[in-house]
């Protein structure tokens, strides 16, 4: 009797137990996440895992399996191409698509640029028109003046150039007229235009310097006396002013040399007079007798 009881006791003991029964729980844990009492048929009936199961198993593996009813906005479904815009222009209502709207916006940007360019050209054209009108009035006036003088406009212009050239360079009118004719014959009519006072003065200075260097190439400009530059400022050519100063200097030196010669002669004459007086002295005469 005791043997049978011990045998029954040994068969009732578990094969392996860890501390606190962890080993038994580990061995009985379900692999698919269902408890031991959860039938597999529940998953088949509901079509998914029951509440408290794996959350990832509730999502489809392929997003392409999702379907819409045609009204949802899915990214990249091409609905942007179906956009429409309503425009109002000069009282007219017009509906355009997205592509046409982009093209019209680009044209609007180009229009702003073209409008600014057109405004600039319009302003420039107005200025040129006003200048042309003024030139027409000036030409009419010149025609009237030339007619009163019995000349053409070209002849009247040449006469004015001759007078201005003669005044600016201080040359005779005949010489100025000859220069104008020579320039026109050589095809240099633009150069025959009247020079401004500044241009005439600069040309005169250059001419004076060239003429001066042709005669006095080795002279340092710093060595030219102040009175020469003063004469140039008063209107004399540089060469003429320097030669005048040089001539005055030579004359002064000549006068000084003549004065020195005169003084020496006076001194020599005084000595001779003194010597003659000594010869007439009786004592001296007796001494040498």
Number of domains present in the structure of the chain: 2
Same domain, 188 and 266: no
pTM of the model as a whole: 0.29
In this predicted structure, the answer to whether residue 161 has a pLDDT above a threshold of 70 is: yes
Same domain, 230 and 215: yes
Which of 151, 172, 195 is at the close of a domain?
195
- What is residue 162's predicted lDDT score, i.e. its pLDDT? 87
Is 267 contained in some domain? yes
Same domain, 158 and 209: no
- What is residue 272's predicted lDDT score, i.e. its pLDDT? 56
- What is residue 48's predicted lDDT score, i.e. its pLDDT? 47
Same domain, 178 and 210: no
Is 236 contained in some domain? yes
Window from 93-107, 143-157, 174-188 with minimum mean pLDDT? 174-188
Window from 80-89, 223-232, 267-276 with minimum mean pLDDT? 267-276
Is 246 contained in some domain? yes
SS (H, E, C) the chain: CHHHHHHHHHHHCCCCCCHHHHHHHHHHCCCCCCCCCCCCHHHHHHCCCCCCCCCHHHCCCCHHHCCCCCCCCCCCCCHHHHCEEEEEECCEEEEEEHHHHHHHHHHHHHHHHHHHHHHHHHHHHHHHHHHHHHHHHHHHHHHHHHHHCCCCHHHHHHHHHHHHHHHHHCCCHHHHHHHHHHHHHCCCHHHHCCCCHHHHHHHHHHHHHHHHHHHCCCCCHHHCCHHHHHHHHCCCCHHHHHHHHHHHHHHHHHHHHHHHHHHHHHHHHHHHHHHHHHHCCHHHHHHHC
Name which residue leads in pLDDT, 166 or 33: 166
Which of 148, 169, 195 is at the close of a domain?
195
Which of 161, 178, 195 is at the close of a domain?
195
Is 58 contained in some domain? no
Same domain, 232 and 260: yes
- What is residue 189's predicted lDDT score, i.e. its pLDDT? 56
Domain span at residue 217 reads 197-284
């Amino acid at each position: 009797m005791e043997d049978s009881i011990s045998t029954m006791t040994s068969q009732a003991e578990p094969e392996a137990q860890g501390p606190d029964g962890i080993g038994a729980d580990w061995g009985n844990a379900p692999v698919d996440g269902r408890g031991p009492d959860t039938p597999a048929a529940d998953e088949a009936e509901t079509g998914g895992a029951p509440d408290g199961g794996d959350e990832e198993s509730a999502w489809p593996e392929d997003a392409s399996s999702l379907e819409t009813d045609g009204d949802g906005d899915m990214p990249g479904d091409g609905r942007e191409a179906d956009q429409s815009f309503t425009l109002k222009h000069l009282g007219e209502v017009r509906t355009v698509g997205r592509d046409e709207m982009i093209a019209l916006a680009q044209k609007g940007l180009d229009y702003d640029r073209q409008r600014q360019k057109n405004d600039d050209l319009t302003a420039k054209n107005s200025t040129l028109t006003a200048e042309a009108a003024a030139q027409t009035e000036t030409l009419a006036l010149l025609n009237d003046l030339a007619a009163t003088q019995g000349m053409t406009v070209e002849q009247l212009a040449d006469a004015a150039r001759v007078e201005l050239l003669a005044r600016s360079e201080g040359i005779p009118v005949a010489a100025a007229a000859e220069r104008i004719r020579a320039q026109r014959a050589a095809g240099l009519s633009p150069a025959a235009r009247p020079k401004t006072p500044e241009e005439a003065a600069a040309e005169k200075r250059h001419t004076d310097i060239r003429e001066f260097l042709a005669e006095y190439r080795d002279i340092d400009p710093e060595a030219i006396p102040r009175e020469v530059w003063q004469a140039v400022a008063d209107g004399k050519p540089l060469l003429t002013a320097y030669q005048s100063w040089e001539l005055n200097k030579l004359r002064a030196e000549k006068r000084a040399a003549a004065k020195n010669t005169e003084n020496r002669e006076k001194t020599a004459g005084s000595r001779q007079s003194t010597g003659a007086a000594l010869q007439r002295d009786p004592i001296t005469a007796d001494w040498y007798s």
